[in-house]
Each structure stands twice: as structure tokens, then as C-alpha cells.
Amino acid sequence: MRLRDLRAELVKRKTWNEEGQQREGFVAVASIAEADGLFFLCPKCFEMNGGEVGTHRVLCWFVGKVPDDVDPKPGRWIPAGTGIDDITFVGPAAASVLLTSGCNWHGFVRNGDAS
């Protein structure tokens, strides 16, 4: 399924302090070079639910961009390509995406497609 149809966004991690509490989030950015990760609707649940309603999202952080102890973990991926339309997760680290809870989706991000 095309990442565009899964409302994929390249995102950058953001942390800030609010009333003495460390907060975490992320914001959308334009390019892979700026991005720390890829955020998209789960293709398995999208298909099962017939669309976005009730479908959770998947967040994949990139290798070397986000500390290893930041959720979701432990997976980190290496992105290749120029943007959402041709992004591919490449080796030598694990190239596939496996969700270890919830729907247990296991798939690949290749050439702008998640399946």
C-alpha cells in the first residue's frame, strides 16, 4: 500500500520542558535528511478497517537519529530515497518492520510502499 495513502509523514523528534516535566513529541518535516523517523497508518489495520478510522499508526525511528532508549524501541531503520514517494528501509540492520504488540504487523517499507 502506498505510504501516501497511509498518510505517511517524515517526522523530527521534539522534546521540551513543561512545568518541570520532560515531554516528547515530533513534528512533520519536508525531507529525509531532516527527519528522525517515518510515521504512517498501519497497512494491515488500514486494510482490515477499510480506512483510517480505528487504525493505529506506526512510528519507525532512523538509525543514529534518536537515542536507543526512546520509544518505540528497539527497532531503528536506515532510510534511503528522496522522500515519501520512494523511501526504502535498507540493511545491514533489520530492514523489515515487526510490531511486537497489537496487530503484530510484519512488513517492509520499499520504494514508497508499506506491505
Contact between 59 and Zn ion per CB under 5 A: no
How many C-beta atoms lie closer than 10 Å to residue 42's C-beta? 22
Do 106 and 114 meet the contact criterion of CB atoms below 8 Å apart? no
Contact between 105 and Zn ion per CB under 5 A: yes
Chosen residue from 45, 87, 97, 109 binding Zn ion by CB under 5 A: 45
Helices of type H across the chain: 43-49
Piece of 20-28, 44-52, 71-79, 88-96 that binds Zn ion (CB under 5 A): 44-52
Indicate the residue among 11 and 42 with the shorter CB distance to Zn ion: 42
